[in-house]
Amino acid sequence: MGAGIDTRIFDDADALATAVADEICALAAVPSTRPFTIALAGGSTPKRLYELLAAPPRRDRVRWSDVELFFGDERAVPPEHPDSNYGMAKRALLDHVPVTAHRMAAEKDDAAGYARLLGERIPRRRNGIPIVDLVLLGMGEDGHTASLFPGTAALAERGAWVAMNDVPQLKTRRMTLTYPVLNAADRVWFLIAGAGKRTVVAECLAAAPRRDDPPPYPMLGVRPTDGELIWFLDKAAAGR
């Protein structure tokens, strides 16, 4: 559907989440001398994915002690706040499996601290940048991903791995991984569901081959240097 983008289409959001859950179980089952690292996303489709991973039989197919979890972005709220991505992941997954997870303490405004954590916990490097094995991302109806929103300063960040990003259109401030880390990953998987995203999906797929700089939508700035890029879509988001 788009140059350089592997697109996979499923009947609905639940089928999408189920397929991704099975893919993650297969990846995590590969023997390794180091933890399998995943950067988690927020949103309803990732939440369903986490619930599937937290329940039998998938829960028992993953050696959770060999997995290490990070986050792609976070709102500047404490973990018990209903808007917290960490809080959602905790309720859906972390409370049910013995896994190491590193919360973004965005309410402390410490992007540099989270960047140091990435550097300490992820030894592999690509051009000096930590290589996350798998980054899960969503997409908003404005084309944002993680907390990289249209017109915001973090879109231009090329040095820092993590940034505090002011989002005036939402009157909020968020912590987010930046393009350098996202594009250094081995795998970047977008989970996109819902008819409300169909127009932006179509426009992004049409624009992707042009590789505009800057891209018309923030999600199009995610272009893994050497890793894979897959868009998992349900039929409502994919349209034709």
- Cα distances from 21 to residues 39, 88, 117, in angstroms, run 14, 17, 26
Q: Give the model's pLDDT for residue 186.
A: 97
The per-residue pLDDT string of the chain (240 residues; one tens digit each, 9 = 90 and over) reads 344 689 999 999 999 999 999 999 999 999 999 999 999 999 999 999 999 999 999 999 999 999 999 999 999 999 999 999 999 999 999 999 999 999 999 999 999 999 999 999 999 999 999 999 999 999 999 999 999 999 999 999 999 999 999 999 999 999 999 999 999 999 999 999 999 999 999 999 999 998 898 999 999 999 999 999 999 999 999 997
Specify the DSSP element, H or E, that contains 162: strand 162-167
pLDDT of residue 5: 83
Domains and CATH numbers, the chain: 10-129+139-188 (3.40.50.1360)
Return all residues near 48 (Cβ < 8 A) that are at least 6 apart.
13, 14, 17
CA 196, 82, 86, 89 torsion-angle sign: negative
**pLDDT given at position 1:** 38
Nearest-CA neighbor of 143 among 208, 218, 72, 193?
218
